[in-house]
């Protein structure tokens, strides 16, 4: 989230697209309700009518996988009808920047495409620069090749009729939504976009989110209270686990993993690659070196490039993401798997295939509170023949969140502490303890060896006490960072150095753990202004609550609205003051040429309406899902041209003649993720005890399905049986030239626990987004019949 | 002491069901899992181990709009409570909070309260004593009277994040209910405050989005005269004449008569 | 511990005087019912604040536990986001502890076996580290095309979204910086 939960109350309009907060983030509704009570308009855009839709002022149905069409039309409407925030667009975004002539867009394709590799040469989308390397601009926004004009032209194709023919939305309602949300483009108004996995789990997922961001930028909704692009994250610490680099391509603090690329041969070369010439990321060398120092301690010196070569280097250009793990497992390239609270047999795409691939493992370690479908994939109940599965499985019982202590980071980036309420149940242990004990034992095993593998492990600086139970305060210190010589904890990431004199396990958290304090433990709930609660817990970075808050003030540093003061320039004091920690240099005043550059993390300091960061193009363009019921109305390019395919055997594709019904998966209020925790909680199992699919009365009638019937859902990947939930809340999509049915189903179920049921992910395709490789769980094709 | 009531503004409910499990958590109630209902609703209605249930009603309004109506269903704590009148053992009484509670020590499990409840919220639970012998007790929402005694709100109200459930001073709440009613009339023209005067009002008052019948609530419930006569006249008289135990037997005959008589007034379960 | 929880009084009922508690049948059987009747269940317990383990709203929860059991959980009234309220999942975290389905001992499944065996931690740790070392040593790539790469592609790591930050930090540090894994992923990817 750019903003945070309490901040939602300040919105004049809230568009929920690809999320269902009433069910999946219920307490957010405490604040959404407050916004509505003050006259704010809640807009629910969703393939199905959910509990959120019922609470909304407006509901628009959209076909799964058509967000870019929907938002593209809204961008177009705002531009054509002059609803956009002109001052903001002209000054705080890159609308005025002029793009190279090599950029073009024709019939669904941008310039620079290479069909063989399914990649673009992004240099063709570069900005024009003068001899000194300065970007050329046209402040009048009239130049035909300036971003503003290119954007306007691109989205002029997204007229309401074409859009609604693709999305299946009622046109009257669509226009109403364009007007209502577009009205937040007025100076002083605020609109927020709330999204979750309904936005991301598509082959165009990342571009969906970029489309939301572009709309918010042109309406001047970023950086202000009640605004923002807000990802409603699904797990208590998926924010933290991402911050701490538990993805193949990131180390902590969103910095790159070294690769085999030539430039990465030396630390210097690597730093040159990851450090831009302007923007806050110019400090990357300080953060990276401090991190290496935390990893390798005394074994990280200037002479050995701060231990850079102990870090594993991944193959340049190779994708090591979730689905590719199972591809590799299928090819018998992976011998062992370690799972910390993870259940891919229920949560992974095309999960029966992923389960089959696990049979190729030599060993598996599962750390969890309850038996999972993954840790028991070898059992008869799983459809396996135990005798033929040679995988050795070790299950380590973990304790729950209140049987240990530590912090989690919520969607609003608040790092909050959880104290231990009771000793861990039975012999279960905290994950912290388990990892610590593994590390100590492994170090012991490698102690006397001289292989490169042993040296890496020996170099690792593991300083959390000499007992089985690690000292969590030492871990906090390690995350925060300290001066290597004086051992004093660092106050702010601004104090980190690139010479090996400081450490920082995760620079964005630096400052949460100053000497003698842990700011994550703060419990002062006094509202310090605009519900930012600056003395409650700690928000990264630097306790800042609303990101890009410089943009809450106008060109002179005055708040756009007196009702929504983020930060303002105080000329007398010569600094930024207000209700938040400035996301800007505190004393940078109007004399500074970059005073009006609010997006400090970006090169050039502006919000990017046009960006070459993503793989399929500088503007989001609608492409149909991998499996789809109609041809693309916007171009002759059916499918995202930059999507990379994985192992063919893992990814059978269904066509609409055999599978004419659109399917989507989702979560319920009463269960969580793969259900491991909630399906084992009796009171929750009681609330939703059965796997079901939601289908419309029309489709039920067509298929002869009656209330409470069991049905079979089939896709190119497999079949599952579930109860039918026939509902008026599902309506067939009325598309351009045909009517298409759709169904929805929760993905929480499996065969273990108290509440059991068929696993929806046995049906989902094994294909992912062109940038993030997140699977396309949200839009695929199926057929339905009575069981 | 000022009168307090529980107020349920169904138009603020987002159907999260925290109230259902908050009740189980505070009152240590076991699960009572039901067969798949064909809808997201977990229980057909409240039962002995599930003292409140969120009902989900897919409703097409007279002007052709669709509304998914949620309602927190639980004991209304009637001011004139049929269960209290029907109880032959004086096990049911009103507390100073207006809550209607069942004294488990006095309850003999005869079930007249369950049969006669205006809103069908009382049910018998079966237990076993240490010798394995079964016995029954009538069960329902207590309005968390034990929490009220400690100055805490009912568990369901405490959990509710949209302020659909409120427990507060009666006059204040009813005044706010009127304001709220006028606000929601545009979307819900049939909205109304449900505080039936035929039973002298209830200690749980609803703001309903639709007519009571849409939620399976009786439009104008009354405690039948026969039942009042039974409780206030026949029963004390009978007790004096035959003693307590025998009265339950006599009661059985009369209670059946009452049930038949009150059939039209009884609140049925919600139909989804 | 710096956790200044105030047990906030939600409601002041003017003139509330001690009266006989309404006795209701509370337990699942006679025995618990007897034990509980007439006693305020959280009377002597000091609550411990925690944050909900489910979604990312980050609601505060108070855990009322005695030495051996979690007796009750409720929304933290001092928490600025949820202000004492919770959803159905947050409300029932008590049963994450009390659920009879919790696994409380390490378990081992031998290759080809059709059942779990309960084992002790030493046995389990021993198996895990030996497996890691054997696979890693066998598959470890020191150099690739002349570049020092120090990695293994034969072990996959999954998980983290349900862990604490401190745990994520140690996991990242051990599995990437110490063991050289390339396949490190978690729920954010899916």
pLDDT digits over A561-599, tens only? 999 999 999 999 999 999 999 999 999 999 999 999 999
Q: In whole numbers, what is the pLDDT of chain A averaged over residues?
A: 97
Per CB-CB distance under 8 Å, the chain A contacts of B60 are 728
Can you tell me which residue has the tokens 């959803």?
Answer: C87
Residue A352 confidence (pLDDT): 96
Select the residue from C85, C92, C95, C96 to test the B interface by mutation, using most B Cβ atoms within 10 A.
C85
List subunits contacting chain C, requiring 3 or more Cβ pairs under 8 Å: A, B
Which segment of A229-233, B76-80, B255-259 scores lowest on mean pLDDT? B255-259
**pLDDT digit string (tens) for A750-773?**
999 999 999 999 999 999 999 999
**pLDDT digit string (tens) for A284-336?**
999 999 999 999 999 999 999 999 999 999 999 999 999 999 999 999 999 99
Q: Which domains does chain B have, with CATH numbers?
A: 4-77+142-215 (3.30.70.20), 82-140+224-261 (3.30.70.20)
Would the CB atoms of C189 and A337 count as touching at under 8 Å? no
User: Which of helix, strand or coil describes residue C83?
Assistant: coil
Per CB-CB distance under 8 Å, the chain C contacts of B172 are none
CB A10 within 8 A of CB A37: no
Q: Is A314 on the interface with C (CB under 8 A)?
A: yes
Residue B242 confidence (pLDDT): 52
Would the CB atoms of C57 and A402 count as touching at under 8 Å? no
Residue A52 confidence (pLDDT): 98
What is the rounded distance in angstroms from the CA atom of residue A576 to the CA atom of residue A176?
39
Instruction: Assess whether pLDDT exceeds 70 at residue B236.
Output: no
**pLDDT digit string (tens) for A479-520?**
999 999 999 999 999 999 999 999 999 999 999 999 989 999
Q: Is A299 on the interface with C (CB under 8 A)?
A: no
Closest residue of chain C to B103, computed from CA coordinates: C23
Select the residue from A48, A52, A55 to test the B interface by mutation, using most B Cβ atoms within 10 A.
A55
Q: Where are the beta strands (DSSP E) in chain C?
A: 48-51, 60-65, 70-75, 107-109, 117-118, 141-144, 147-159, 181-185
What is the rounded distance in angstroms from the CA atom of residue B157 to the CA atom of residue A612?
51
Question: Cα angle at A217 between A215 and A221, to 5 degrees?
Answer: 95
Per CB-CB distance under 8 Å, the chain C contacts of A523 are 2-5, 49, 78
For chain A, the domains span 5-85+147-231, 248-318+471-544, 322-446, 648-786
Torsion sign across C-alpha atoms A721, A722, A723, A729:
negative
Instruction: Assess whether pLDDT exceeds 50 at residue B255.
Output: no
What is the rounded distance in angstroms from the CA atom of residue C68 to the CA atom of residue A403?
12
Query: Using 50, 70 and 90 to split pLDDT, how confident is the model at C14?
Result: very low
CB A724 within 8 A of CB A713: no
Q: For the domain bounded by A322-446, which CATH number is listed? A: 3.40.50.740
Would the CB atoms of C88 and B21 count as touching at under 8 Å? yes
Q: Is B42 on the interface with A (CB under 8 A)?
A: yes
Per CB-CB distance under 8 Å, the chain C contacts of A392 are 108-111, 127, 131
Select the residue from B28, B101, B139 to test the C interface by mutation, using most C Cβ atoms within 10 A.
B28
**pLDDT digit string (tens) for B12-28?**
999 999 999 999 999 99
Task: For residue B1, give the nearest of C13, C73, C75 by CB distance.
Answer: C13
CB-CB neighbours of A518 under 10 Å: 20
Query: Using 50, 70 and 90 to split pLDDT, how confident is the model at C32?
Result: very low
Average pLDDT of the segment spanning B79-88? 96
3-state secondary structure A71-103: HHHHHHHHHHCCCCCHHHHHHHECCCEEECCCC
Instruction: Assess whether pLDDT exceeds 80 at residue B151.
Output: yes
For chain C, give every residue range classified as CATH 3.30.200.210.
Answer: 42-98
ipTM: 0.97
Would the CB atoms of A683 and B32 count as touching at under 8 Å? no
Closest residue of chain C to B19, computed from CA coordinates: C88
Closest residue of chain B to A37, computed from CA coordinates: B183
User: Which of helix, strand or coil describes residue B80?
Assistant: coil
Sequence-separated (6 or more) residues with CB below 8 Å from residue C162: A235, A236, A237, A340, A341, A401, C53, C187
**pLDDT digit string (tens) for A643-701?**
999 999 999 999 999 999 999 999 999 999 999 999 999 999 999 999 999 999 999 99
Average pLDDT of the segment spanning C21-29? 33
Query: Using 50, 70 and 90 to split pLDDT, how confident is the model at B263?
Result: very low
CB-CB neighbours of C106 under 10 Å: 25
What is the rounded distance in angstroms from the CA atom of residue A441 to the CA atom of residue B195?
68
Would the CB atoms of C155 and A406 count as touching at under 8 Å? no
Per CB-CB distance under 8 Å, the chain A contacts of C57 are 5, 25-28, 410-411
Q: For the domain bounded by A648-786, which CATH number is listed? A: 2.40.40.20
**pLDDT digit string (tens) for A340-398?**
999 999 999 999 999 999 999 999 999 999 999 999 999 999 999 999 999 999 999 99
Select the residue from B77, B146, B154 to test the C interface by mutation, using most C Cβ atoms within 10 A.
B146
Would strands C48-51 and B204-208 be described as parallel, antiparallel, or unpaired? unpaired
Q: What is the pTM (predicted TM-score) of this model?
A: 0.94
Task: For residue B38, give the nearest of A685, A708, A728 by CB distance.
Answer: A708
**pLDDT digit string (tens) for C42-92?**
988 999 999 999 999 999 999 999 999 999 999 999 999 999 999 999 999
Per CB-CB distance under 8 Å, the chain A contacts of C85 are 27, 30
Task: For residue C125, give the nearest of A428, A437, A478 by CB distance.
Answer: A437
Would the CB atoms of B149 and C74 count as touching at under 8 Å? no
Per CB-CB distance under 8 Å, the chain C contacts of A309 are 148, 150
Per CB-CB distance under 8 Å, the chain B contacts of C10 are 151-153, 158
Query: Using 50, 70 and 90 to split pLDDT, how confident is the model at C21?
Result: very low
Query: Using 50, 70 and 90 to split pLDDT, how confident is the model at B251?
Result: very low
Would the CB atoms of A334 and C151 count as touching at under 8 Å? no
Would the CB atoms of C9 and B2 count as touching at under 8 Å? no
Would the CB atoms of B104 and C24 count as touching at under 8 Å? yes
Q: How many CB pairs under 8 A join B and C?
A: 116
Average pLDDT of the segment spanning A173-191? 98
Structure tokens at A664: 């989507």
Task: For residue A418, give the nearest of C51, C65, C157 by CB distance.
Answer: C51
Instruction: Assess whether pLDDT exceeds 60 at residue C176.
Output: yes
Structure tokens at A409: 């980071």
Would strands A229-231 and A191-195 be described as parallel, antiparallel, or unpaired? parallel
**pLDDT digit string (tens) for A31-87?**
999 999 999 999 999 999 999 999 999 999 999 999 999 999 999 999 999 999 999
Would the CB atoms of B28 and C14 count as touching at under 8 Å? no
Q: Is B72 on the interface with A (CB under 8 A)?
A: no
Q: First-to-last CA distance in chain A? A: 43
Q: Which CATH number is C42-98's, of 3.30.70.20, 3.30.200.210, 3.40.605.10, 3.30.300.210?
A: 3.30.200.210
Select the residue from C23, C41, C82, C97 to test the B interface by mutation, using most B Cβ atoms within 10 A.
C23
Residue B249 confidence (pLDDT): 47
Instruction: Assess whether pLDDT exceeds 80 at residue B187.
Output: yes
Would the CB atoms of C82 and B161 count as touching at under 8 Å? yes
Minimal CA–CA distance to A498: which of A268, A164, A170, A166? A268
Residue B129 confidence (pLDDT): 87
Task: For residue C11, give the nearest of B137, B152, B159 by CB distance.
Answer: B152
β-sheet with B204-208: strand ranges across: B165-169, B4-9, B204-208, B192-194
> Domain A5-85+147-231: which CATH class?
alpha beta
More confident position, A661 or C30: A661
CB-CB neighbours of C88 under 10 Å: 27
Per CB-CB distance under 8 Å, the chain B contacts of C86 are 18, 22, 159, 161
List subunits contacting chain A, requiring 3 or more Cβ pairs under 8 Å: B, C
Task: For residue B38, give the nearest of A23, A683, A725 by CB distance.
Answer: A725
Select the residue from B91, B152, B154 to test the C interface by mutation, using most C Cβ atoms within 10 A.
B152
Q: Which residues of B are annotated as a binding site for [4Fe-4S] cluster?
A: 13, 16, 19, 23, 75, 78, 83, 87, 107, 110, 113, 117, 141, 144, 156, 160
Per CB-CB distance under 8 Å, the chain A contacts of B163 are 33
Per CB-CB distance under 8 Å, the chain C contacts of A390 are 111-112
Alpha helices, DSSP H, located in A656-722: 682-687, 697-703
């Amino acid at each position: 989230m750019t903003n945070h939960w309490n901040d939602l109350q300040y919105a004049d309009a809230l568009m929920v697209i690809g999320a269902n907060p009433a069910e999946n983030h219920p307490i957010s509704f405490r604040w959404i309700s407050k916004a509505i009570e003050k006259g704010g308009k809640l807009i629910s855009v969703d393939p199905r009518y959910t509990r959120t839709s019922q609470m909304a002022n407006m509901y628009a149905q959209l076909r799964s996988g058509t967000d870019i069409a929907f938002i593209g039309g809204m961008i177009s409407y705002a531009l054509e009808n002059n609803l956009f925030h002109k001052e903001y667009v002209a000054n705080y975004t890159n609308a005025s920047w002029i793009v190279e002539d090599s950029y073009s867009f024709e019939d669904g394709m941008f310039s620079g495409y290479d069909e063989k590799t399914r990649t673009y040469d992004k240099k063709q989308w570069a900005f024009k620069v003068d001899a000194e390397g300065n970007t050329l601009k046209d402040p009048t926004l009239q130049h035909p090749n300036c971003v503003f004009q290119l954007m306007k032209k691109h989205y002029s194709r997204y007229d309401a009729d074409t859009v609604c023919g693709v999305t299946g939305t009622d046109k009257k309602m669509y226009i109403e939504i364009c007007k209502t949300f577009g009205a937040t483009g007025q100076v002083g108004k605020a609109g927020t976009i709330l999204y979750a996995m309904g936005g991301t789990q598509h082959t165009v997922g990342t571009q969906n989110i970029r489309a939301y961001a572009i709309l918010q930028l042109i309406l001047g909704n970023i950086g202000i209270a009640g605004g923002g692009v807000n990802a409603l994250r699904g797990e208590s610490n998926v924010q933290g686990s991402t911050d701490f680099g538990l993805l193949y391509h990131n180390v902590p603090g969103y910095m790159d993993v070294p690769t085999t690329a030539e430039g990465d041969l030396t630390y210097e070369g690597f730093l040159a690659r990851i450090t831009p010439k302007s923007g806050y990321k110019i400090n990357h060398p300080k953060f990276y070196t401090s991190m290496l120092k935390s990893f390798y301690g005394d074994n990280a010196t200037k002479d050995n490039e701060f231990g850079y070569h102990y870090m594993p280097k991944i193959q340049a250009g190779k994708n090591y993401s979730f689905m590719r793990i199972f591809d590799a497992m299928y090819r018998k390239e992976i011998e062992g798997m370690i799972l910390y609270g993870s259940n891919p047999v229920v949560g992974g795409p095309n999960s029966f295939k992923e389960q089959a691939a696990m049979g190729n493992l030599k060993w598996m370690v599962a750390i969890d509170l309850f038996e999972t479908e993954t840790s028991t994939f070898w059992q008869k109940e799983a459809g396996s023949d135990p005798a033929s599965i040679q995988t050795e499985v070790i299950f380590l019982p973990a304790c729950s969140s209140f049987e240990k202590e530590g912090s989690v980071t919520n969607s609003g980036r608040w790092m909050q502490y959880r104290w231990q309420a009771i000793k861990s149940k039975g012999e279960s242990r905290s994950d912290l303890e388990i990892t610590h004990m593994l590390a100590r034992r492994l170090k012991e095993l490698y102690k006397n060896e001289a292989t490169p593998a042993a040296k890496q492990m020996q170099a690792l600086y593991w300083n959390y006490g000499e007992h089985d139970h690690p000292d969590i305060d030492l871990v906090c210190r390690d995350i925060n960072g300290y001066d290597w010589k004086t051992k004093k904890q660092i106050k702010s990431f601004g104090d980190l150095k690139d010479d090996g004199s400081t450490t920082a396990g995760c620079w964005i958290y630096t400052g949460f753990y100053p000497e003698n304090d842990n700011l994550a433990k703060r419990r002062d709930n006094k509202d310090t202004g605009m519900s930012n609660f600056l003395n409650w817990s700690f928000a990264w970075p630097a306790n800042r609550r609303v990101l890009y808050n410089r943009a809450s003030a106008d060109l002179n540093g005055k708040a756009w609205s007196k009702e929504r003061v983020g930060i303002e320039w105080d000329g007398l004091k010569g600094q930024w003051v207000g209700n938040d920690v400035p996301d800007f240099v505190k004393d940078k005043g109007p004399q500074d040429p970059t005073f009006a550059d609010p997006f400090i993390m970006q090169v050039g300091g502006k919000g990017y309406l046009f960006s070459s960061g993503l793989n399929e193009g500088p503007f989001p363009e609608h492409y149909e899902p991998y499996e789809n019921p109609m041809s693309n109305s916007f171009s002759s390019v059916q499918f995202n041209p930059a999507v990379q395919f994985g192992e063919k055997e893992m990814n059978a594709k269904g066509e609409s003649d055999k599978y004419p019904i659109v399917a989507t998966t989702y979560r319920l209020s009463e269960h969580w993720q793969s259900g491991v925790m909630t399906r084992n909680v009796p009171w929750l199992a009681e609330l939703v005890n059965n796997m079901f699919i939601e289908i419309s009365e029309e489709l039920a009638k067509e298929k002869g399905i009656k209330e409470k019937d069991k049905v079979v859902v089939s896709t190119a990947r497999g079949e599952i049986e579930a109860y039918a939930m026939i509902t008026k809340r599902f309506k067939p999509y009325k598309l351009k030239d045909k009517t298409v049915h759709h169904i929805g189903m929760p993905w929480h179920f499996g065969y273990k626990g108290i509440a059991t049921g068929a696993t929806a992910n046995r049906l989902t395709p094994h294909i992912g987004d062109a940038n993030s490789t997140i699977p396309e769980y949200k839009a695929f094709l199926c057929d339905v019949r009575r069981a | 002491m000022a009168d307090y009531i529980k107020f349920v503004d169904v138009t603020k409910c987002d159907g999260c069901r925290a109230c259902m499990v908050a009740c189980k958590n505070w009152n240590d109630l076991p699960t009572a899992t039901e067969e798949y209902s064909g809808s997201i609703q977990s229980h057909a209605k409240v039962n002995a181990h599930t003292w409140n249930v969120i009902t989900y009603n897919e409703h097409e309004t007279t002007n052709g709009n669709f509304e998914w109506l949620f309602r927190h269903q639980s004991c209304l704590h009637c001011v004139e409570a049929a269960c209290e009148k029907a109880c032959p053992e004086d096990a049911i009484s009103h507390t100073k909070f207006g809550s209607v509670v069942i004294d488990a020590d006095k309850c003999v499990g005869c079930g007249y309260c369950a049969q006669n409840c205006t809103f069908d919220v009382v049910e018998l639970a079966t237990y076993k004593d240490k010798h394995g012998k079964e016995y029954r007790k009538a069960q329902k929402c207590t309005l968390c009277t034990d929490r009220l005694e400690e100055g805490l709100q009912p568990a369901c109200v405490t959990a509710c994040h949209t302020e659909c459930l409120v427990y507060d001073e009666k006059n204040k709440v009813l005044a706010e209910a009127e304001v709220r009613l006028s606000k929601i009339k545009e979307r819900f023209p049939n909205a109304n405050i449900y505080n039936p005067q035929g039973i002298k009002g209830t200690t749980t008052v609803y703001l309903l989005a639709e007519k009571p019948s849409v939620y399976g609530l009786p439009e104008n419930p009354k405690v039948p005269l026969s039942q009042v006569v039974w409780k206030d006249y026949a029963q004390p008289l009978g007790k004096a004449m035959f003693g307590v135990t025998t009265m339950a037997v006599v009661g059985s005959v009369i209670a059946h008569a009452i049930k038949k008589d009150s059939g039209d007034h009884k609140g049925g379960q919600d139909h989804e | 511990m710096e956790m200044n929880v105030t047990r906030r009084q939600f409601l002041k009922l003017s003139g509330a005087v001690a009266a006989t508690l309404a006795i209701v049948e509370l337990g699942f059987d006679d025995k618990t019912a007897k034990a509980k009747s007439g006693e305020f269940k959280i009377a002597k317990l000091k609550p411990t604040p925690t944050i909900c383990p489910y979604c990312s709203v980050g609601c505060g929860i108070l855990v009322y536990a005695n030495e051996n059991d979690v007796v009750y959980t409720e929304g933290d009234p001092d928490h600025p986001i949820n202000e004492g309220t919770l959803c159905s999942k947050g409300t029932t975290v008590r049963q994450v502890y009390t659920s009879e389905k919790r696994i409380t001992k390490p378990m081992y499944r031998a290759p080809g076996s059709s059942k779990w065996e309960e084992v002790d931690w030493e046995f389990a740790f021993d198996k895990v580290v030996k497996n890691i070392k054997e696979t890693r040593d066998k598959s470890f790539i020191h150099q690739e095309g002349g570049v020092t790469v120090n990695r293994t592609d034969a072990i996959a790591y999954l998980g983290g979204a349900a862990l604490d930050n401190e745990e994520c930090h140690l996991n990242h540090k051990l599995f990437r910086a110490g063991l050289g894994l390339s396949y490190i992923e978690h729920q954010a990817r899916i």
